[in-house]
């Protein structure tokens, strides 16, 4: 038993060491490059991070099921069908297309989404559409 846990420990340490190794990549000048997650992040990944993080969108939106707001898949479907822009909606420049009767609830979140950059809004849109495949 002891041997097994020792082996496990060794493997885990190797994995940890290995992932640290990646962080100390150097640029062409030989300077260590700061590990930056945004550089390798796809728009979908950035969108997911905002959706679940500072956007607090998951409080009301889940992938498949309606909670307080419509499911992400439903929203994505409506926006694809109508060829509309989620990013524009989140800037407060669009019309509610999914559930206009509940628009006031969603509108309160424009306080957050209006502070996001275009890149972040487009990332949110990319993430939401990526769940509807
Ligand atoms: C307090 C609950 C709540 C939170 C938090 C919330 N939403 Fe919503 N959202 C709603 C409700 C309710 C609707 C349905 C009303 C509507 O369609 O406008 C909605 C609708 C939407 C729609 C469809 C709008 C349309 O055209 O009808 C989008 C897109 C959306 N939300 C994105 C987001 C994103 C992105 C976030 C995070 C930044 C977010 N929501 C956070 C409640 C919420």
Confidence of residue 21 (pLDDT cuts 50, 70, 90): very low
Cβ proximity of 123 and 64 under 8 Å:
no
Model pTM?
0.78
Phi, psi of 92 (to 5 degrees): 85, 15
Domain of residue 86 covers 40-133
Q: What is the CATH number of the domain that holds 45?
A: 1.10.760.10
Q: Looking at residue 20, what is its pLDDT? A: 47
Instruction: Give domain status of residue 77, yes or no.
Output: yes
Ligand 1 within 6 A of 126 CB? no
Number of domains in the chain: 1
pLDDT, position 87? 98
Report yes or no on 59 lying in a domain: yes
Mutate which of 73, 109, 125, 131 for ligand 1? The one with the most ligand atoms within 8 Å of its CB, which is 109
Residue 53 has pLDDT above 70, yes or no: yes
Q: Which helix (H) or strand (E) holds 90?
A: helix 86-90
Find the mean pLDDT for residues 9-38. Answer: 61
Within 13 Å and on the Cβ side, how many CA atoms surround 44?
Answer: 5
pLDDT tens string 66-112 = 999 999 999 999 999 999 999 999 999 999 999 999 999 999 999 99
* Residues written for the chain: 133
| pLDDT on residue 26 | 76
């Amino acid at each position: 038993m002891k041997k097994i846990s020792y082996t496990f420990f060794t493997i885990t340490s190797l994995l940890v060491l290995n992932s640290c190794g990646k962080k100390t990549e150097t640029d062409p000048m030989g300077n260590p490059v700061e590990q930056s997650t945004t550089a390798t992040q796809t728009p979908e990944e950035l969108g997911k991070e905002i959706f679940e993080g500072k956007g607090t969108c998951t409080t009301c939106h889940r992938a498949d099921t309606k909670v307080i707001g419509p499911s992400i898949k439903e929203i994505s479907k409506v926006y694809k069908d109508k060829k509309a822009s989620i990013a524009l909606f989140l800037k407060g420049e669009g019309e509610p297309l999914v559930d206009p009767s509940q628009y006031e609830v969603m509108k309160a979140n424009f306080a957050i989404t209006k502070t996001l950059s275009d890149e972040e809004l487009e990332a949110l849109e990319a993430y939401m559409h990526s769940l509807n495949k």
